[in-house]
Structure 1
């Protein structure tokens, strides 16, 4: 691959970050709204717990459809190119989010209200399913090899920035409007302004070029005919280990960014704004720590760092929820209970996961590979808030079964990550080496097979 100037790399990474921020804002605005508005307007029930679980169920649908988007856009991203797929994913997310802000309530159109909400959530999931892989690949395949961890951590900031934007939007609207105004029409504004963000994102993405790594594949006409089949033929072991390793990432994230809001408001009895402020504080610290974790992953084995961080993050959930449950509503204690595990420990998981997964596959199937692993585990993790709500009820309002669930997820991920670290060290001698495709022509010079060591 030809050397690329730093300015070009920075422009590509910035475009990935901005696009990812918009996508995550769209996706998690729904998560923030689910337990404070949507449960009341679209899933009315006499029991608050029941309506909240129904709202979380539609939130989970967005995660369940992400693998579909990952497979579809991964296929065409490995066949046609990364850039064009990112334009499509942004449009899908933006349009579906905008339309959520226009859907009438259950009181107005009955069954069609939750049905339309569910449909838009499906499209959101498909769009985000293709977005993540393309965004991090643009950074990974443009970055210098020894700085891939740092550069792939930058698009990961889109998640924390998206949370900050969505939580800040709800907090500002809550402060400017009365509860009646917010519930009647104010909440819709957060979804409607998405169209403005999408216009900005599209303008940025239309002004970048295809990655050099995929351009090399295209130039030699070595695109995989069916990337998903090729992926499992050559990298099945890495796929299954990646699925196990990435599990804690999705579970831990959803516990703190989604479930903690309803736990704090319904079980600890703090205000909606106080819960959102604590989440925003955690997301702010996470934003600072993510690039630090990415840079650290360039200095040691990304797989080892990921494994250690997975276990530490998982174990921290017990003291975190104990502090919340015993806080008596004390804002400082609640902030610490979220900032330390979510903002600090988790950064070494989330800030590292993009480069860690990209290292598992070569350029011919990398879009499909990382999207499949990431989005399949996201589908499972999307059920976390629903599972956690049920476990709290089963445990008479206590969070300990939830904490146990997180710890078991962390153990699974740690074991898988350490196995990957050992494989990478043994096979290549390079702690962060990505597989390289090798061409095997027949006697006539026609390519018959492409392998990766």
Structure 2
């Protein structure tokens, strides 16, 4: 009888533990989907802008600049990057003081507004110089939102991860970049196919921007179901939150911000050859490859990018973040020159091989990024540190990468001139990887939900 009485509470405890574990796993899945959806929308927004700007905005908004019109249109995408640090500072403060979830809601909402308004904006033919000015202002708003989106999503994902799975959990927001590319290609291709090139170039280009309203509504719904980070909850309960996150960060961790930023300039610069519109604009204009064919190749490269992002994250959980960064950047450095030679040949086969092989080292170096950044900063200032480092890295590596590539190609008369520039950026990140340690900063607090 006594044994039975003892067993019943044990069974009840076991059942409760199983239910708790199931609930935690369900919440992790929600977090994974929410962070993936949000960053996918962010990059969908950026990518449709970059591609449409490369193809059309030179004529629609900057036609008075003659041969500089396309270069200026590409530069407008870069302007938004200079507002990312401000967005990172604001969102970092909110995330470290009031929670990671609020950042996800605010950044996605601001992004949706700025993207929708681009789709409603009159061109220079209708309102003159006001059109490019308003366009640039809207890109600044996008920069503010993008400056906080990645940090909030990445840190929420990593802080919900089980022990030993931070790389893999943090890979979900990372996969939003190539997934956003794929979504942008599908949407642009669908509207282009339905309307025809003439109608799309005249007015149909607005529809991909307006379609983002649907995506934002879905994203906000998914994010509303996500629980707060268990790490932030612990900080709140123990009353150890930072009162002045930015000041604490800059007074004790300036070097880590710069080191983290340096680890990403290589993949940002190279990645923007795909997502920034340069490859599409170059191949379709210099070699007359059909736009639909090039978009199909970009779609395939993005799929490879997604796969190797998860491979890189998994590998980093097994062997450490620095190992994967060293391997990925060494591969990127070695492949860039032959890849751009292939791009210069201008055939569908050569362009496809160039883009597909570029996606492999990009994925490997994207995969571990969320976990690495989370582990470099203490939990109480983690969102501020990760967001600011990401914003600085994005400015240094990606702000004007497509424009620089375009200028080098025009200046030297060959796309091969772009390769040394990107090799230099990859070398910066490769060298930085040798100064990383697996437990960067010793900050690897385990969330209370880890088992």
TM-score, L = length of structure 2: 0.90
Deviations 1:353-395 (A, max 9, x none): 1111111011111101111111111122211011111111111
For the pair 1:364 / 2:380, whether they are aligned, the reply is: yes
Q: Alpha-carbon deviation of 1:190?
A: 0.4
For the pair 1:74 / 2:92, whether they are aligned, the reply is: yes
> Which residues of structure 1 form unaligned runs of 5+?
437-453
**Which residue of 2 is the match for residue 446 of structure 1?**
none
Q: Residue 224 of structure 1: SS of its match in structure 2?
A: coil
How many residues align? The count is 425
**Which residue of 2 is the match for residue 440 of structure 1?**
none
- Say which of 4, 25, 40 aligns to 1:21: 40
Asked whether the 8 Å contact 2:27–2:227 carries over to 1, the reply is: no
Q: Distance in 2 between matches of 1:45 and 1:283?
A: 35
For the pair 1:390 / 2:407, whether they are aligned, the reply is: yes
Q: Alpha-carbon deviation of 1:271?
A: 2.1
Q: Alpha-carbon deviation of 1:214?
A: 0.6
**Which residue of 1 is the match for residue 156 of structure 2?**
138
**Which residue of 1 is the match for residue 263 of structure 2?**
245
Asked whether the 8 Å contact 2:309–2:366 carries over to 1, the reply is: yes
For the pair 1:334 / 2:321, whether they are aligned, the reply is: no
Q: Distance in 2 between matches of 1:356 and 1:126?
A: 23
- Say which of 23, 29, 42 aligns to 1:10: 29
Q: Alpha-carbon deviation of 1:269?
A: 2.6
For the pair 1:184 / 2:194, whether they are aligned, the reply is: no
Asked whether the 8 Å contact 1:304–1:421 carries over to 2, the reply is: no
Deviations 1:39-63 (A, max 9, x none): 211111464x411111111100122
Deviations 1:425-449 (A, max 9, x none): 8x86xxxx6379xxxxxxxxxxxxx
Q: Distance in 2 between matches of 1:98 and 1:351?
A: 30
Q: Alpha-carbon deviation of 1:154?
A: 1.4
Q: Distance in 2 between matches of 1:326 and 1:19?
A: 37
- Say which of 437, 444, 447 aligns to 1:434: 444
**Which residue of 1 is the match for residue 218 of structure 2?**
200
Q: Residue 365 of structure 1: SS of its match in structure 2?
A: helix
Q: Alpha-carbon deviation of 1:401?
A: 2.6
Q: Residue 175 of structure 2: SS of its match in structure 1?
A: helix
Bigger-Rg structure (1/2): 2
- Say which of 365, 390, 395 aligns to 1:379: 395
Asked whether the 8 Å contact 1:306–1:353 carries over to 2, the reply is: no
**Which residue of 2 is the match for residue 300 of structure 1?**
319
**Which residue of 1 is the match for residue 299 of structure 2?**
280
TM-score, L = length of structure 1: 0.90
Q: Distance in 1 between matches of 2:287 and 2:437?
A: 41
Asked whether the 8 Å contact 1:64–1:378 carries over to 2, the reply is: no
Asked whether the 8 Å contact 2:345–2:351 carries over to 1, the reply is: no
Deviations 1:310-356 (A, max 9, x none): 221133111111012124x2x222111101112x1211011121111
Asked whether the 8 Å contact 1:247–1:409 carries over to 2, the reply is: yes
Runs of 4 or more, structure 1, over 4 Å off, are none
Q: Residue 135 of structure 2: SS of its match in structure 1?
A: helix
For the pair 1:269 / 2:285, whether they are aligned, the reply is: no
Asked whether the 8 Å contact 1:25–1:162 carries over to 2, the reply is: yes
Q: Distance in 2 between matches of 1:311 and 1:409?
A: 12
Deviations 1:31-81 (A, max 9, x none): 11111121211111464x411111111100122211111111011111111
> Which residues of structure 2 form unaligned runs of 5+?
1-19, 447-451
Q: Alpha-carbon deviation of 1:236?
A: 2.5
Compute the RMSD of aligned alpha carbons: 1.9
Deviations 1:91-143 (A, max 9, x none): 00001101100001100000111111111111111111110001111110000
Q: Distance in 1 between matches of 2:140 and 2:356?
A: 31
**Which residue of 2 is the match for residue 112 of structure 1?**
130
Q: Distance in 2 between matches of 1:119 and 1:39?
A: 17
Q: Residue 243 of structure 2: SS of its match in structure 1?
A: coil
